[in-house]
Structure 1
Amino acid sequence: MSEWGRLSPVQQAWALEHLGTAEVVRDMSWNLVESIVLHVRTSAGDVVVKAGDANNHHIARELSAHPRHTGPLVASGHAARLRAADADLRVMILDHLPGQLLEGTDAEQQPAAYEQAGALLRRLHEQETREDAEYWTRTIARALSWLDKPNRLDAEASAEARRILLSSCLTSAAVVPTHGDWQPRNWLIDGDVVRVIDFGRFGFRPAATDLTRLAAKQWRNRPDLESAFFAGYGNDPRERNQWRLERLQEAVGTACWAFAVGDVEFEAQGHRMLAEILSEF
């Protein structure tokens, strides 16, 4: 099967209708979820074609971010412009951004990259604030649903997480436009410039939710990276009780989701995250 053939026939036909003569340069998919991400070369320049199957929710989330909430970052060249999309077919075409994934490069260990990432996130978050009366109700219910699914969590840890979630009194929250997966694997580095990709987990959430994955990995034992990030972001949006609960649901979701898709390394990270956050309650 060709790389184009990973798209459904109707998705492929739609893409070629919009692109004309085009060649797949590279398949950039993670292959853990039902998403296909192709780097494509056309006579009008390089683009990214993203598509998903009927079970894919990431395309719809990403489309909800464009163009309004990605606008400030697109205007400055720090995020990709949406060229065309068909929500029903779950397929979209974006500009291809220069640079390489920041994860695994020397820049991942450099404070300057985190200061830029903090400044970019601030521009996303500051666009709008809403009050969501049901945010924590939904978030807790989702975490509990993960605990009800097959997983490899320690029985005592699972029971304690469930007890804390059920005893929470939090309901409403101030929410902003969030990326949902703000970390170096979704940042590009081009020279000394940081850009951001993949709004497939976009949604309105508390600002601090975009910090959970950094706190769980890159910021561990690296207070200099955390400080640099907040130098760019401008303030620390974390409130103690909400931050603990957010990290708890993130740990549960990480461990259970990773088990479901077979990502052993990420699952181990989720187990570590859960042990660490439970020790704070």
Structure 2
Amino acid sequence: MRQTKPLPATVRRWAEQRIGPIVAVRDTSHDWYRSRVWELEGEGEARRYVKVSPSEKFFTRETRAYRGVVPVLGHSHAPHLLDSRAEDLALLLTAVPGAPAAGLGLTTGGWRTVHRQAGGLCARLHEAGDLDRTDRAQAEGSLEAAADGAEKYLTRAGNRLTRAERQVIRDYAAQLRRVGPVPVGYIHGDNQPRNWLWSPAGLALVDFERTRPAARVQDLVILAVTEWLDHPDREQAFLQAYGRELTGAERHALRCLTALDAVNCLAWGPDNDHPDVTARGRRTLDRLMRENRL
């Protein structure tokens, strides 16, 4: 059973200075030791959230996202940043309705509706404003940066991969460097149903600590190896609302990126006691190995 994480006293005092007395606190962190998020109940049952970022890098990304990118989603489709405190890496956020779609047991039609709305929201996010020179350079170099990370993950994965599997990962990393131009923009960075809140009011996106300028197709990797692999109707619904089909270059980049996601999962999952992540990586890599033999 996951241990409940206490809200740090300094963060609580800061939050109360901003929103008034807190009458109840509930730990709503993900099942990961570095995830720290709490629901705050104020007087009159008003709800807010406070998040303590895992690192300064994530704190900087998320505060920037809330200030400059997330507002394009609209008031009811993402939290609003009330305040931030760099000393504690803390963000104070409004609440949005809904619960994570991943745990709702939705029907087939319900999942298509969720993916359709997710496609529309991702399109808004990906097209949020013009990239400045620095952001554009980062975005246009994001696929090469992903390829550069392959060796790090291969080293961390160690003997969890065979020699043949390691060569396949290197081959896909090399191909990724040659994909060519693809559409770029601001991506969510952890785009999956656990970060999609679903309610009768519609869909909302949360958790923007990985939001950054990048190739837009990078936001589809987790969906491609989980949600869409066995449910192509969900992919069709998403892309219909997204407003376009992926280009040939994006399709090729996506395949390469799924290989890099696999080795990342096989490096990170066992080290952090996440069997679901490990299984995702193993399933993807096994599929790629089979397909490469055909």
Say whether the fold is shared (TM-score over 0.5). yes
2:215 aligned to which of 206, 215, 240 = 206
Matched residue type, 1:244: R
Q: Describe the superposition over 1:233-257 as per-residue Cα deviations: whole angstroms up to 9, x where unpaired.
A: 1112352331222212122222222
1:197 aligned to which of 206, 209, 214 = 206
Give me the identity figure in percent: 25
The normalised TM-score by structure 1 is: 0.88
Structure 2 equivalent of residue 165 of structure 1: 173
CA contact (8 A) 2:48 2:95 kept: yes
**Worse-superposed segment, 82-91 or 231-240:** 231-240
**Structure 1 CA distance, aligned partners of 2:223 and 2:51?**
25
Shift of 1:199: 0.8
CA contact (8 A) 1:61 1:203 kept: yes
CA contact (8 A) 2:192 2:222 kept: yes
Counterparts in 2 of 1:73 and 1:169: CA distance versus 1, 3 Å: closer
Structure 2 equivalent of residue 41 of structure 1: 41
CA contact (8 A) 2:40 2:47 kept: yes
**Structure 1 CA distance, aligned partners of 2:107 and 2:223?**
11
Structure 2 equivalent of residue 86 of structure 1: 85
Shift of 1:166: 4.6
CA contact (8 A) 1:102 1:188 kept: yes
Map 1:243-258 to 2 at 5 A: 243-258=254-269
Counterparts in 2 of 1:39 and 1:60: CA distance versus 1, 3 Å: same
**Structure 2 CA distance, aligned partners of 1:80 and 1:56?**
20
**Structure 2 CA distance, aligned partners of 1:150 and 1:191?**
42
Select the structure that is richer in helix: 2
**Structure 2 CA distance, aligned partners of 1:126 and 1:274?**
32
Matched residue type, 1:139: A
1:147 aligned to which of 145, 150, 154 = 154
CA contact (8 A) 2:150 2:169 kept: no
CA contact (8 A) 2:116 2:238 kept: yes
CA contact (8 A) 2:99 2:198 kept: yes
**Structure 2 CA distance, aligned partners of 1:103 and 1:265?**
13
SS in structure 2 at match of 1:219:
coil
**Structure 1 CA distance, aligned partners of 2:5 and 2:227?**
35
Shift of 1:279: 4.2
CA contact (8 A) 2:228 2:234 kept: yes
**Worse-superposed segment, 79-88 or 171-180:** 171-180
CA contact (8 A) 2:196 2:206 kept: yes
CA contact (8 A) 2:5 2:36 kept: no
Map 1:170-249 to 2 at 5 A: 170=178, 174-191=183-200, 193-238=202-247, 239-249=250-260
Structure 2 equivalent of residue 260 of structure 1: 271
Counterparts in 2 of 1:12 and 1:150: CA distance versus 1, 3 Å: farther
CA contact (8 A) 1:34 1:56 kept: no
The normalised TM-score by structure 2 is: 0.84
Unaligned runs of 5+ in 1: none
Matched residue type, 1:64: R
Indicate whether 1:119 and 2:120 are aligned: yes
CA contact (8 A) 1:207 1:237 kept: no
**Structure 1 CA distance, aligned partners of 2:141 and 2:67?**
26
